[in-house]
Every structure is written in C-alpha cells, then in structure tokens.
Amino acid sequence: MNIHEYQAKQIFAKYGVPAPRGFIANTPAQALKNAQELGGKVWVVKAQIHAGGRGLGGGVKIVHSLSDVKKAATELLGMTLVTHQTGPEGKLVRKVYVEEGIKIVDELYLSIVLDRAIEMPIILALKEGGVDIETVAAKSPEKIIKIPIDPDFGYQGYQGRELVFALGIKDKREQYKLQNFVKALYNLYIENDVQMVEINPLVKTKTGSFLALDAKLQFDDSAMARHPEFEEMRDIHEENADEREASLYGLSYISLEGEIGCMVNGAGLAMGTMDTINYMGGNPANFLDVGGNANPEAVAKGFEIILRNKNVKAIFINIFGGIVRCDRIANGIIEATKTVEVNVPVVVRLDGTNAIEAADILRHANIDNIITATDLADGAKKAVEAANNSQGKK
C-alpha cells in the first residue's frame, strides 16, 4: 500500500524525522491560506500522486508570491500529471501540498528497502539527490552506498558512522544529526512493516540540519491487519480499480499490457506461466493468482476482471490441484461462463488432484471456446495460437 507524500511526512513527524513545514490543500483558496499560515517569501506547491518524477513532469512549482501560490495550485489541481512512473495515461491531481521554501546547501539520496537476496533491510544512499535511483543502479552501480542492517540487532552506531563517512560528511555535528536521522527512519521502517521508505532528495540546510524534502512510504499489504490506523490513509483513486476489486474476492491481480489473460493458482506457478507465454511468443495481459479461493464466484470474478481489458484475445487457465481440487476449478469455469460472457478462446490446463474428473466435466460441458491442454508448455503454445487467430479475425 502506498500513501501520499504529505501523509508520509505526518508519520515522519511522529518518529522525529525532520521535514519542511507544509499543509495539504484541495482548492486554490485553501492553498493560498496554507501559504499565508506558513509565512515566508518562498513556497513549494506539489501535486500529490502515487508516482515519482513529479518535478520533471511539471508537478512541483517553486513560487515567490502569494498570488503565484494560488496560480500554481489552480494549474495543478485537476490536471493529468504524466511522469516516467505513471505511464502515458498519467494520474489526476486531486490534492496539492503547500510547503515552506528551504535554502538548500546539498542534496542526497536515502532509502531503506528489503534486500531479498540477503534477507534483511538495507540502507541505500547517494551523494547526489533528486536522481532516478534505477538509472544510477543500471549505469553507475558503484555510486550507490549499501549498508545492510541485521534486524536481530537493529541499527547500530558503527553503521551510522559508515554511512556518514561514505557520504563524505566531515563536520562532527552534521555527522551526529544524520546518524540520528537515519536511526529514526529505521525505527519507523521496522515498527510499521514498511516495504520501502525513500527520501529523494534528503537536503542539508545552511544550519547543517537534514530535512526530508520528499517522502515516499510503501507498506506491506500482508501486514496491514497489524496497522489499521493506516487504512484511512489509503487513497482508492490512486489504486487500480480492478486490482482493488480482485482483492475483495481473495484474488491477487496485477494488470499488464499483453493480450493473453492468465488465471493461475500460486504466485510461483503464475510467474512461470507468464514466462512460458512470453517464451512461446505471446505477452501476458495480467498476473492473476486465485490461490486456494477458486470457488465459482471467485473464478467468475476473475473472468470478469480479465475481460474488461479490451486487449485480451485469449485466456490461459493453468491450475495445479494441490490445496484446490481440479474438479472444483472445472465447475467454477462452467458456472462462470453462465454469468459472464466469455467471448475469447479459453485454454485450460488442469493437473493434480481430481484432474481426470475435471477433464470429464469440461468435456461434457460442450462449451465451444474451451481448449484443453496437457501441460504448461502445451497450454502456453495453444494460448498464443488462439490469441493470434483471434487477432487475425479482427
């Protein structure tokens, strides 16, 4: 689950992670009032969307008068902001964050993420802020400072010293401030089941203080039951409507850009299915893991969500019956075709518990557009062929 910058900074404040003062606004008049309350001569008006690259996309405006604050808010509110993370469709700006201007001496990059290879959190830092970390990782990985933190021991003083030395910070007071900054950030990360916290840029002011000029927090969805206080921070306008609806039915769904819809049980098998489709010359239109919740209602909802994507030319159902029985899936498919108009070829591969019974159920169902497959490779090949034939007809 992602939250907005202004919400992340509210959480930062609870942990003593310093950031510039600011207020959220839904209207230009409210933005103007916020700037008046902040005082000063320079303000920053920021579009609030769940995507990075807002500055390059025109979503961050530095202004030097109250009239320009209102003008900037008027321009941003209601605009569709396109960045390298939103895709060409962009995101609608519904809120702006008005923040006090800061005199910046230096900019850094700082984040804490889970490194799955070493199975522990890792601090990532750069001597320059405001950069695209993915580009740096691809072109100049040696520039990225990496400090792993063993969660059994937590953040230690020597790790803080290693970080400030690697960043080239020599002033003792600045070293002390940044070490405390990172310690507070790590505590926030651990205590709230955060998947990623990113500050880009982290700025140093003329007084030698460090401030989070930007803030991004991403929580582990699986741990949200432990943090009901964050649920009210969820902005459903920023979430994919199909993905959210699927979650209500116990389905894990992610929309992609291909032409072959996928319905699979188990995340590993789903990934393997997508890879095999790609190997056979096709492109998956989605990731859909039905897990053990493959009842007729869930299968029907899966069909409904997949078919909303007009690019889908065929569906590949790949189920290995372990926890869920194949005959149950077969009955679910048949029931789904009664409630949802399935107007594309459906390739079905069922293996495992009650696979023979499932094959008999599908065989006697007399549904014209269902194609059976013997294994993963056969199913992926037939799905690609079916999608190509369907495309050719159109």
Active-site annotation, residues: 109, 198
Q: Which two tokens stand for residue 269?
A: 């098998």
**Collapsed DSSP state (helix, strand, coil) of residue 120:** strand
Tokens 């907005």 correspond to 4
What single letter denotes the amino acid at residue 310?
A: K
Tokens 């899966």 correspond to 302
* Beta-bridge mates of residue 146: 124
CA dihedral of residues 369, 371, 376, 382 (deg, nearest 10):
-80
User: 309: alpha, beta or left, given left = phi > 0 and alpha = psi -120 to 50?
Assistant: beta
Give me the sheet containing 346-352, strands edge to edge: 252-255, 286-289, 260-264, 314-321, 346-352, 370-372
Tokens 């096709």 correspond to 282
DSSP string, 125-156: EESS-SS-HHHHHHH-GGG-EEEE--TTT---
Strands 96-100 and 80-81: unpaired
What single letter denotes the amino acid at residue 75?
A: E
Q: Which two tokens stand for residue 202?
A: 């982290």
DSSP string, 232-264: GG--GGGS-HHHHHHHHTT-EEEE-SSSEEEEE
Q: Which two tokens stand for residue 121?
A: 């959190």
- Could you tell me which residues come within 8 angstroms of residue 259 by beta carbon, excluding any fewer than 6 positions away? 282, 283, 285, 311, 312, 313, 314, 387, 391
Residue 347 · residue 314 · CB < 8 Å:
yes
